[in-house]
């Protein structure tokens, strides 16, 4: 395993402004108070986001767990750090225990797996068996509902329920910086709409909602990013990418249910299953 990681690191080319830390994480400042933390040697190339102001930081997703993200967060975060997973898939919950009580999206599907202040995702929510990752149990610090505004110092981020990839997925909208933290709803690479609970109808509904609500100059920062021209960088999409995804999903839903993969544009493909047509 270690040899495979070292071989992967030897082939990685990081974009300008991305610094390698702890021989694993690619770290890039999106601005003075927002840090993108990537994992270029991990095959899913996860990116988490550390959002800070004053004495407070919010960590949106806690990484794959292949390495501890906590030391990177300690170096770049503020005195108080609160973690907020975008959804319960295993590659977004790594090291979740390192951050104490966790902020959790207040959704019925997540309330159903909470007991006495602790939350244990189901196997279907977590999907860790594919990489032999055990299901965690962690403490819920507070619940935040869709539409609620989370404050990080003087920064305000609105929680947006974005099912499609999974029923429990949420994103964050920061109007002041015109930035949408999309998590796994849309990202560079192969979009998964074939996993348990994935729904093309939800994808279409949320795409249309976001196209109405977001400005055309929006910066969409994503939770995964495949190398472009052989270079790893913090993955950023735009309004046009969202529009392209909407068009492909709408076209699919006009046809018969099937399983397959289609290009969205030069930066994304969409995987789908028969089940995702009716979910």
Cα–Cα distance, 135 to 151 (Å, whole number):
29
Give the separation between CA 160 and CA 40, rounded to whole angstroms: 27
- Mean pLDDT across the chain, nearest whole number? 96
Mean pLDDT over residues 18-43, rounded? 97
Instruction: Specify the higher pLDDT residue, 9 or 71.
Output: 71
Q: What does the pLDDT read at residue 8?
A: 61
Structure tokens at 36: 């993108």
Parse the chain into domains and list their residue ranges: 2-278
Q: Report the pLDDT value the prediction gives residue 227, as an integer from 0 to 100.
A: 93
| Mean pLDDT, residues 148-163 | 98
* pTM score of the predicted model: 0.96
**How buried is 168 (Cβ within 10 angstroms: 0-12 exposed, 13-18 middle, 19+ buried)?**
buried
Mean per-residue pLDDT, 169-186: 98
CATH code, 2-278: 3.60.15.10
DSSP E strand boundaries for 73-178 = 80-84, 102-105, 114-115, 118-119, 138-144, 149-152, 155-161, 170-174
Q: DSSP 3-state assignment of 113?
A: coil
Does residue 2 surpass a pLDDT of 50? no
Average pLDDT on 260-269 reads 98
Cβ count within 10 A of residue 47: 29
């Amino acid at each position: 395993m270690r040899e495979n990681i070292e071989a992967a690191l030897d082939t990685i080319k990081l974009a300008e402004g991305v610094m390698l830390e702890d021989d694993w994480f690619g770290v890039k400042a999106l601005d003075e108070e927002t840090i993108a933390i990537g994992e270029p040697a991990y095959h899913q190339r996860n990116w988490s986001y550390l959002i800070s102001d004053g004495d407070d930081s919010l960590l949106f997703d806690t990484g794959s767990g292949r390495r501890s993200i906590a030391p990177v967060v300690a170096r770049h975060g503020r005195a108080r750090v609160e973690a907020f997973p975008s959804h319960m898939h295993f590659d977004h919950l790594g090291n979740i225990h390192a951050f104490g009580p966790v902020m959790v999206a207040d959704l019925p599907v997540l309330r159903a797996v909470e007991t006495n202040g602790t939350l244990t995702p189901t196997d279907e929510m977590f999907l860790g068996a594919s990489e032999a990752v055990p299901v965690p149990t962690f403490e819920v610090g507070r619940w935040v509902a869709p539409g609620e505004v989370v404050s990080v110092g003087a920064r305000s981020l609105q929680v947006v329920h974005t099912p499609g990839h999974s029923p429990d997925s949420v994103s964050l909208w920061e109007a002041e910086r015109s930035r949408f933290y999309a998590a796994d709803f849309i990202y560079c690479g192969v979009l998964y709409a074939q996993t348990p609970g994935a729904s093309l109808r939800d994808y279409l509904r949320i795409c249309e909602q976001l196209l109405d609500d977001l400005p055309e100059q929006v910066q969409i920062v994503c939770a995964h990013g495949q190398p472009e021209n052989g270079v790893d960088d913090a993955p950023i999409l735009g309004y046009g990418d969202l529009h392209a995804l909407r068009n492909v999903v709408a076209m699919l839903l006009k046809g018969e249910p099937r399983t397959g993969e289609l290009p969205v544009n030069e930066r994304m493909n969409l995987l789908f299953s028969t089940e995702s047509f009716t979910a």
